[in-house]
Amino acid sequence: MQARLDDVKAQLRIALDAAMAGFPKGELADAMAYATVGGKRLRAFLVMESARLHGVADQAALPVATAVEALHAYSLVHDDLPAMDDDDLRRGMPTCHLQWSEATAILAGDALQTLAFGLLASDQIGDAEARLRLVRAFADAVGAGGMVWGQALDIAAENAAEPLDLKAIKRLQGAKTGALIRFSAISGPLISGDETGPLERYAAALGLAFQITDDILDVTGDENVTGKRVGKDDAAGKATFVSILGLEGARDEAGRLADEARSALDGYGDAAENLRELARFVIERDT
């Protein structure tokens, strides 16, 4: 898995640089490039492996992986803003609005989001029907019924009279974090026109396991390793998987979900071993 992930990272860096190369030089383009530096690239990896499982070549899947990472970068830039999560560290660097300005960070996020949709129109992906399936699913995943809705729920929870219960946290994180993970995982069958069900089940479990691990790292992690501030959720009094389940309970639930994700891949046989390994990696990571 690590070799494949390293290969995806290398391909993605070239593709991101190429996608932004034609923009006018200046602060906006610099901030966009800054926002795409670093990261685990797990969503891009999901795209590329999902595509491989469904007979889609890397060349066709790469614009989709690039779109996902551009969209993810936008979401982080906006989430870090003072009006949102108000963070000052991301991927081990000052957040975009501190490195540049709030206005430039907002515009860089806007431009990265637009870039993502443009990338999904690439002829490199395949026929028009495949691209249309991708655009529709992407819009559903990242808009007012998906990722952005999840962020709205998160902000509303900060001002709620009572902390969220477990069901509400799962709904929130299933949108805020899980929706883009789900899109990444099903992009292969969306391109090929195949059934998405097994990878949808995989992604649902993987996304929750990923978020539970994030909540664990917010308690146990070292910001010099994670690249972002830790202890913020507890300081803000936010309900998390750890605050509800306890540290060991959260670890057990993450492990159960990772097993569930792996089981969803049984129909793919050995070809899905990289995605099985990803489910293990997600809950064992320290960043």
pLDDT in tens, 223-257: 888 777 787 777 667 889 999 999 999 999 999 99
Amino acid letter for position 74: Y
pLDDT digits (tens, 9 = 90+) for 90-141: 999 999 999 999 999 999 999 999 999 999 999 999 999 999 999 999 999 9
| Residue range 2-284, CATH number | 1.10.600.10
- Quote the pLDDT of residue 158: 83
Q: Are 258 and 281 in contact (CB under 8 A)?
A: no
CA dihedral of 93, 98, 101, 107, whole degrees rounded to 10: 40
Cα separation, 248 vs 20, whole angstroms: 44
Average confidence (pLDDT) over 16-44: 97
Taking the domains of the chain in order of start, what are their residue ranges?
2-284
Pair of tokens at residue 207: 């996304």
Contact 59, 65 (CB under 8 A): no
Tell me what the pLDDT averaged over the chain comes to: 95
Token pair in block for residue 109 = 């996020």
114 vs 162, higher pLDDT: 114
Has residue 214 got a pLDDT over 90? yes
DSSP string computed for 259-274? HHHHHTTGGGGGGGHH
Q: Which amino acid is at 27?
A: E
Q: What pTM, to 2 d.p., does this model score?
A: 0.95
Distances (CA, A) of 75 to 66, 84, 85: 14, 11, 11
